[in-house]
Amino acid sequence: MNQGHTMHPTPTPRLRRSQLGAAVLALTAITAVGVAHAAHAAPASAKYASASHAIGTTTQLPRGVTPLHYALSITPDAAASTFTGKAVIKVAVDAPTSSITFNALQLAFAAAAIEGAGGSKQVAQKIDVDAARQTATVHFARPLAKGQYQLRLDYSGKIGTQATGLFSLDYDTPQGRQRALYTQFENSDARSVLPSWDEPDYKATFALDVTVPSSQMAVGNMPITGSEELGNGTKRVTFATTPRMSTYLLFFGLGDFERATAIADGTEIGVITKRGALAQSRFALDESNALLREYNDYFGVRYPLPKLDNIAAPGRSQFFGAMENWGAVFTFEYGLLLDPAISTQSDKENIYTTLSHEMAHQWFGDLVTMRWWNDLWLNEGFASWMEGRTTQRLHPEWNTALSNVAGREAAMSQDALRTTHPVIQHIATVEQASQAFDGITYQKGKAVISMLETYVGADTWRTAVRSYMRKHAYGNTVSSDLWREVDAAAGKPVSAIAHDFTLQPGVPMITVGEAVCSNGSTRVTLTQTEFSKDQLDKKPLSWRVPVIASTVGNAKEARVLVKDGKATLSVPGCGALLVNAGQSGYYRTLYAPSSTRALAGSFARLAPIDQLGLLADSQSLGLAGLQDPSDFLELAKATPLSADPQVLGKVAASLNGLYEQYVGDPLRQQAFGRFAMARLAPMMAQTGWEARAGEASGVATLRARLIATLGDMGEPGVLAEARRRYAASEQDPAAMPAPLRRTIEGVVAQHADSAAWEQLHARAQQEKTPLIRNHLYDLLANSKDTVLAQRALALALTDEPGVTNSPAMISKVAHAHPDLAFDFALAHLEQVNARVDASSRSRYFPRLAAASAQPEMIAKLAAYAQANLPAGARGDADSSVAGIKYRIKLRAERLPAVDAWLARQVG
């Protein structure tokens, strides 16, 4: 799934994805948090033995009956929000049994029977449904002998309104209101549409036919092999049988759609949109063509299905943006379509990374699937890594390699808190599986892969990946299956490093001793400890850390593997010493003060990616109390205007983040704001409001960031110009060009008065284009004014915004008013719950409070979790509490040093 980067205007990290089952099953395995605690406490010698034992293959179904093939017939009734189904499931029975248990969620069974060899048949004696365990058990009067059978089930179910299971999305068109149907099964919601062994290890083939309105287009994983008119305005559509795959990858869509196609390497590539939007998919279709060719070559295994569609859907989810259903990738419109009225360069790049992420999943995840959710990172970390690698390769002009630093930082921010977890974590319940779609799984997974690829070399890494794909095609794996191939290709035990970074949580820290230069080289001692934001006195874990270092101005690098806590390194040259050169390492670097000063003096000569890495380390270490926070401010002050646009953007984002830490203290915030605005004003003057012919793509992105940042701070010039352009656009559309439209409207909405808010509200009510309509309702929830924020919250609980906009609006209010949004959601718990699917509430509510810095919120979150969440489903609540505690500490203990630095600047 795409979770992070695909999240649209309102989201969290770029994490995308999945809906869960509602119940938590009482298993005896340790929880994810328990794994983290165990890893911290375990002695080094026992560490991997205990982790491997704890993270064994899990099942929530009894073993002994295995599905081989599903023949499914589905008849949806979109108007009534119900469907009926018939399933004929070929199963293998391993030992005599008088019952068969499978997954089922909110399904009602009308009949069940089983047929064996020779035509023997039994009608079910009874069917027991266990709602808590999300299972159904069919009982037979006579035991079934070992062998193969056909299990026949007639059933019915519900069509939902949130993006889970089989769901509907309503949208406006010039011809009136339309309804489309889609499915979203990851991680554990296939069971709400078909009785199934809904676990990734139970792969089977699927033959699907659907009875649908004759005027609508049906879409599945495979091409259509037949369409039969049935009369009464309906038809039966039959799809080709899929290869062996996991249940969560099955897809069905239905609506008033259009489709465009192309052929790439013998595969039919398609994009499917609602009628009238097909022209906006041209970019996605063209880029999908090139991506498929690239992946066929890289993986050494050709894409095995005859077609690959990308399906664009109106609406959105708070938890994912796209889903890699094999041959039928589902994506919300904002992640696939370029609307010329509002789309930006950043939108184009996000669409490309979504495409490359989901298409990479067609191999990593679909062809080869993790055995259980413990190894989810084998899907998500690798798709995230492939998206970055491939974007940089096929679109080097975007220079997206620099964004790797931002992704690594997002992971480290979560990984440095006591509530973190290992990349490979024990998953015992569907709720825990849902919560595993996070920054550790995606971004840390991606960062570790990048580090290991750099360590062994790109060609060696690709050789290992190709071997892994060939050996495990159509099967299921655990992480050790991959490491076995990497070790063999590299000829050295890379798996030992991989285990350090995937089986234990946390962020290594490399402390760089005083550098000594002699005879043209610099000698230095490196010491490995651990970076933590909220446990500065904890005993550090031990990692084997690949380190690359260089001296500024010298192209030669030195490499060493830091193990057992120490290493000595001799680096060519005698300039300022840079550790983690190229930023492929997943660790923090803490320099001696003299080295910090030397690097600051050489900052302009560093490569842009190293400037980003140094800024990130300096800021994080300063805010954690491991070095002076003013070190970062000095770097921000010294960053030249000639720096790469992404480096300037990092300075802007970091200053904006510090500015927000002063919320609630207006005088101190204004003082910091004066410094930040003065630092950013020359960048804004250099970038300007108007795009220049031939400017780099990064400049367009920087322009929008600077306007948004200075607008957030209330910089008078930017605020006045944004308001002027917004007002003028009614007569002159060029006053608010498409690449800046959302940014300018966002600034205006942030600082809107009641009259301006009502004007936006009227526009939202009249807008018919889903992408623009969603944006306008986001704007209504974007106000800094508390009264207007309260009005947005009240509006979110009406029917007006639509069922997918309502939770998004509450989340948007929570960005600026976390305490207000959380209190409101709790006060209207039943109404909010109706707008958030049950399996995702354990994430939704804690995330509303995540930006708070109020001590009272800690108790509120704890009370909410105690009353509403099972003990094994409180990971997001615990993470939000840890973040709040850290934010309180930061404001109390770090901001005074920032204040003192500001005072010295004035003095």
- Distance (Å, rounded) from C-alpha 334 to C-alpha 347? 8
Q: Is the pLDDT of residue 653 over 60?
A: yes
What separation in angstroms does the CA of 214 have from each of 116, 230, 315, 369, 644? 37, 9, 25, 36, 54
- Distance (Å, rounded) from C-alpha 281 to C-alpha 259? 10
Q: For residue 448, which phi and psi values (nearest 5 degrees)?
A: -65, -40
- Distance (Å, rounded) from C-alpha 466 to C-alpha 485? 9
Strand bridging mode 588-591 / 507-512? parallel
**Residue of 180, 191, 172, 234 whose CA lies nearest to 209:** 234
CATH 1.25.50.20 domain span(s) along the chain: 759-907
Say which residues have a Cβ less than 8 Å from residue 551's Cβ, sequence separation at least 6.
Answer: 522, 571, 572, 573, 574, 575, 576, 577, 578
Q: What is the mean pLDDT of residues 317-337?
A: 95
Per-residue pLDDT tens for 200-244? 999 999 999 999 999 999 999 999 999 999 999 999 999 999 999
- Distance (Å, rounded) from C-alpha 820 to C-alpha 849? 9
- Distance (Å, rounded) from C-alpha 220 to C-alpha 251? 5
Q: Do the beta carbons of residue 631 and residue 654 sit within 8 Å?
A: no
Per-residue pLDDT tens for 370-385? 999 999 999 999 999 9
**Residue of 306, 315, 360, 307 whose CA lies nearest to 337:** 315
Confidence of residue 58 (pLDDT cuts 50, 70, 90): low
Q: Do the beta carbons of residue 229 and residue 221 sit within 8 Å?
A: no
Q: What is the pLDDT of residue 52?
A: 35
Q: Do the beta carbons of residue 651 and residue 705 sit within 8 Å?
A: no
Q: Which two tokens stand for residue 620?
A: 């994080």
- Distance (Å, rounded) from C-alpha 158 to C-alpha 83? 6
Q: What is the pLDDT of residue 39?
A: 32
Share of the chain above pLDDT 90, in %: 86
HSE, side-chain direction, 13 A CA sphere, residue 320:
30
- Distance (Å, rounded) from C-alpha 744 to C-alpha 711? 9
CATH 2.60.40.1910 domain span(s) along the chain: 507-598
- Distance (Å, rounded) from C-alpha 535 to C-alpha 538? 5
Q: Do the beta carbons of residue 477 and residue 485 sit within 8 Å?
A: no
Say which residues have a Cβ less than 8 Å from residue 197's Cβ, sequence separation at least 6.
Answer: 61, 65, 66, 67, 102, 103, 204, 247
Q: What is the mean pLDDT of residues 436-459?
A: 96
Amino acid at the residue 344 = T
For 303, counting Cβ atoms within 10 Å of its Cβ (0-12 exposed, 13-18 middle, 19+ buried), the class is buried
What separation in angstroms does the CA of 189 have from each of 172, 437, 676? 28, 15, 47
Per-residue pLDDT tens for 664-701? 999 999 999 999 999 999 999 999 999 999 999 999 99
Q: Which two tokens stand for residue 342?
A: 């509002």
Q: Is the pLDDT of residue 53 over 80?
A: no
Q: Which two tokens stand for residue 256?
A: 């008033």
Q: What is the pLDDT of residue 61?
A: 94
Confidence of residue 148 (pLDDT cuts 50, 70, 90): very high
Confidence of residue 3 (pLDDT cuts 50, 70, 90): low
Residue with tokens 């089983």: 114
- Distance (Å, rounded) from C-alpha 707 to C-alpha 697? 16
CB atoms inside a 10 Å sphere around CB 666 = 10
DSSP 539: P
Q: Is the pLDDT of residue 30 over 90?
A: no
Return mean pLDDT, the chain.
92
Q: Is the pLDDT of residue 21 over 60?
A: no
Concatenated DSSP letters of 787-834: HHHHHHHHHHTSSSS-TTHHHHHHHHHHHH-HHHHHHHHHHTHHHHHT
Domain at 3-39+360-502, CATH homologous superfamily: Neutral Protease Domain 2 (1.10.390.10)
Residue among 186, 349, 358, 715 flagged as catalytic: 358
590: which strand partners? 511
Q: How many residues does the chain have?
A: 907
Q: Is the pLDDT of residue 365 over 80?
A: yes
Q: CATH: 3.30.1490.190, 3.90.550.10, 3.40.190.10, 2.60.40.1730. Which one for 65-343? A: 2.60.40.1730
Strand bridging mode 267-274 / 257-264? antiparallel
Per-residue pLDDT tens for 725-734? 999 999 999 9
Would you identify the CATH topology of the domain 759-907? Zincin-like fold (1.25.50)
Q: Is the pLDDT of residue 31 over 60?
A: no
Q: What is the pLDDT of residue 116?
A: 94
Per-residue pLDDT tens for 791-807? 999 999 999 998 889 99
Confidence of residue 122 (pLDDT cuts 50, 70, 90): very high
CATH architecture of 507-598: Sandwich (2.60)
Task: Give the largest CA-CA distance in the chain.
Answer: 95
CATH 1.10.390.10 domain span(s) along the chain: 3-39+360-502
SS (H, E, C) 7-32: CCCCCCCCEECCECCCCCCCCCCCCH
Q: Is the pLDDT of residue 16 over 80?
A: no
SS (H, E, C) 614-628: HHHHHHHHHHCCCCC
Q: What is the pLDDT of residue 907?
A: 58
Terminus-to-terminus CA distance in the chain, angstroms?
52
Angle at 155 between CA 152 and CA 158, to 5 degrees: 150
Q: What is the pLDDT of residue 257?
A: 98
153: which strand partners? 87, 112
Q: What is the mean pLDDT of residues 245-268?
A: 98
Q: Do the beta carbons of residue 256 and residue 276 sit within 8 Å?
A: no
Concatenated DSSP letters of 180-242: EEEEE-TBTTGGGTS-B--STT--BEEEEEEEEETTSEEEESS-EEEEEEEETTEEEEEEPPP
Q: What is the mean pLDDT of residues 61-67?
A: 95
What separation in angstroms does the CA of 701 have from each of 393, 614, 695? 20, 22, 11
Per-residue pLDDT tens for 156-198? 999 999 999 999 999 998 888 999 999 999 999 999 999 999 9
Q: What is the pLDDT of residue 9?
A: 32
Residue 368 or 493, more confident: 368
**Residue of 218, 223, 221 whose CA lies nearest to 234:** 218
Q: What is the pLDDT of residue 430?
A: 86
Helix axes 805-816, 786-796, angle to 10 degrees: 160
Active-site residue flag, 199 = no
- Distance (Å, rounded) from C-alpha 777 to C-alpha 774? 5
CATH 2.60.40.1730 domain span(s) along the chain: 65-343
Confidence of residue 707 (pLDDT cuts 50, 70, 90): very high
Q: Do the beta carbons of residue 526 and residue 562 sit within 8 Å?
A: yes
